[in-house]
Amino acid sequence: MKVTFLGHSAVKLDGSSIIYIDPFLSGNPLATISVDQIDKADYVFVTHDHDDHKGDAFAICENTNATLVSIHETAVEAENMGIKAEGMNIGGTIRFNNLNINMVNAQHSSATGHQCGVVIEMDNFVIYHPGDTGLFGDMRLIGEFFAIDLAFIPIGDRYTMGIPSAVKAVEFLKPKRVIPMHYNTFPIIEADPEEFKNAVGNFSDVLIIKPGDTFNLS
């Protein structure tokens, strides 16, 4: 599976399905692609409806005929715009032919619905994306329930976890690999990913990925 970090919290997973998560591209100073350059997608997952996460999700779905997957309220909004959508809620799973999309809890705010995270099981890999969140104890349960191959963890502080909380989240989740996200997009969320990597130590393999970079998850 190819994993591309698109900047901020935007991620592309390219395996038996092409999945975009929180595709904030327009207005993202770190984005290396524009929504017009995306011509193929199967699913777009949105963790919550803040502009820097919902981003270009609807536009990608309109351009590619992808299915929007999100909390019930966001899915209804998409359906009202003529977009294919699958609504769900925290604790639920949607099973498609080649993947499971599991919605898990997160601690943040949202204009409608509820902030959530997602655990994607595809091609024998398990990927966790928490969206925006603070540290919460039930991350232990997520780590116990899922054998996480790759976790994206926000480190930018102020609106999400800062580095100390993010390190504790890694301890709770026990992922094999971690990619820090939601930092340095704007001055208000500046953070040093090397500091995070050093603090995690040998507990998990921290990959510092620049926006636009792709690596093969194997």
Instruction: Give the model's pLDDT for residue 210.
Output: 96
How many Å apart are CA 187 and CA 45, to the nearest integer? 26
At 173 the three-state DSSP class reads helix
Instruction: Give the model's pLDDT for residue 98.
Output: 86
Mean pLDDT over each residue of the chain, to the nearest integer: 98
Q: What is the H or E stretch that residue 164 is in?
A: helix 163-173
| Arithmetic mean of pLDDT, 112-123 | 97
How many Å apart are CA 58 and CA 43, to the nearest integer? 11
* Residue 121, C-beta contacts closer than 8 angstroms, at least 6 positions apart: 99, 100, 102, 146
pTM as predicted: 0.98
CA 56 to mean position of chain CA atoms: 14
How many Å apart are CA 63 and CA 79, to the nearest integer? 15
The residue ranges of every structural domain in the chain are 2-208
* Residue 180, C-beta contacts closer than 8 angstroms, at least 6 positions apart: 152, 153, 154, 155, 166, 191, 193, 196, 197, 206, 208
Residue-wise pLDDT for 53-108, tens only, equals 999 999 999 999 999 999 999 999 999 999 999 999 999 999 998 899 999 999 99
Decide if domain 2-208 falls under CATH 3.40.50.11540: no
How many Å apart are CA 195 and CA 185, to the nearest integer? 17
